[in-house]
Amino acid sequence: MERFVAVRPGAEPPRARRSSFDDDLAEFPELRELVSDSEVTDVFVNGPGRLWADRGAGLVRATSAALDEPTLRELAVRLIALGGRHIDEANPCVDVRLHDGVRVHVVLPPVSTTGTLISIRLPRIVALDLAALESAGFFAMVPVAAIEAMIARRENLLITGAGGSGKTTLLSALLGRASPTDRIIAIEDVAELRPGHPQFVSLEARQANLEGAGSIGLERLLREALRMRPDRLVLGECRGAEIRELLAALNTGHDGGAGTLHANSLADVPARLEALGALAGLSPTAIARQTVSAIGTVLHLQRRPEGRRLVQVGRFELDARDRLRMVTDD
């Protein structure tokens, strides 16, 4: 049964937290209190006595009782084990996805010089749709009608912004507005997208085991997805050489696709794409030409004091040297 909570004007709707994750943290009331908070999106433990939480407006020091280093390390090992992996001095940096899409990243000393580090990303139990985002003020600077029109005409979209700016939230909402007959194939490093769509299929990358075997990367998953007859192809986050496969697919008849990219500003996007293209062996000219023909619109997000916002809309063009540049719709 869903829990309904009043939302203050301009605030992002709160979220119900999964009780199963609370049960996993029953031995650790300090963290249980935070992950049970309907407004918390991230929890960070930066070593003994340094606990922080983000409720959508930036990090705030948590007032819960501090964890000492032995207890903190025990918690880290337990959470990683819940994700089916192992962490120790020989393998001190591990990222796992728990049930319901909870993401946990741990770094142990001596790689971490301040003690055991734990980063927890908490997903929404019910994905926000465009109407909910509009009510929260997400589209205060860019009209939602313009975004809906892009979805209707099956424009390929790139959603950019810094970490925690709402890229995955917006992408899920956009996919939820696609035609129910569209077959959506999403490729993600860690499965986070949860659109309300009947034809949504997610493929998740797999890390290598302790022997270094069994890894399945995003590049391979993109090739596999193309064999599954997608109507809309989605890459959860562009972060490496897989950009080559994505642009190639979007340039060969796959419209209505989308992806996200970390970038601090719209002006930084061309440089970020050139850097990813270099990892894939593409020259700046090649990545520019591929991008201009593949991506129709760029939506840039920011996390502001009043909340997460879609702040700019831009398009790619070639400059006089056949390099990539951004043109805003302002």
DSSP letters spanning 224-289: HHHTT--SEEEES---STHHHHHHHHHTTT--S-EEEEE-SSGGGHHHHHHHHHHHTT--HHHHHH
More confident residue, 132 or 37: 132
Least confident of 9-18, 94-103, 104-113: 9-18
pLDDT band at 30 (very low <50, low <70, confident <90, very high): low
- Please state, as a whole number, how many other Cβ atoms lie within 10 Å of the Cβ of residue 265: 14
Amino acid at 97: R
Identify the CATH assignment for 19-121 out of 3.30.450.370, 3.30.830.10, 3.40.50.620, 3.20.20.60: 3.30.450.370
Residue 19 scores a pLDDT above 90: no
Q: How far is residue 248 from each of residues 37, 120, 221, measured CA to CA in Å?
A: 42, 34, 14
Amino acid at 242: E
Q: Which residues contact 81 (CB under 8 A, 6 or more apart)?
A: none
The per-residue pLDDT for range 136-193, each reduced to its tens digit, is: 899 999 999 999 999 999 999 999 999 888 899 999 999 999 999 999 999 988 778 8
CA–CA separation, 125 and 192 (whole Å): 11
CA–CA separation, 104 and 119 (whole Å): 6
CA–CA separation, 237 and 222 (whole Å): 12
pLDDT at 149: 95
Residue 6 scores a pLDDT above 50: no
pLDDT at 242: 87
Q: Is 258 helix (H, G, I), strand (E, B) or coil?
A: strand
The per-residue pLDDT for range 286-301, each reduced to its tens digit, is: 999 999 999 999 999 9
pLDDT at 128: 79
Q: Report domain extents, the chain.
A: 19-121, 130-328
Angle at 161 between CA 235 and CA 242, to 5 degrees: 30
pLDDT at 28: 55
CATH class of the domain defined by 130-328: alpha beta
pLDDT at 153: 94
The per-residue pLDDT for range 307-322, each reduced to its tens digit, is: 889 999 999 999 999 9
Per the CB < 8 A criterion, the answer to whether 160 and 262 are in contact is yes
Q: Which residues contact 242 (CB under 8 A, 6 or more apart)?
A: 187, 217, 218, 219, 222, 235, 280
Average pLDDT over all residues of the chain: 84
Residue 278 scores a pLDDT above 90: yes
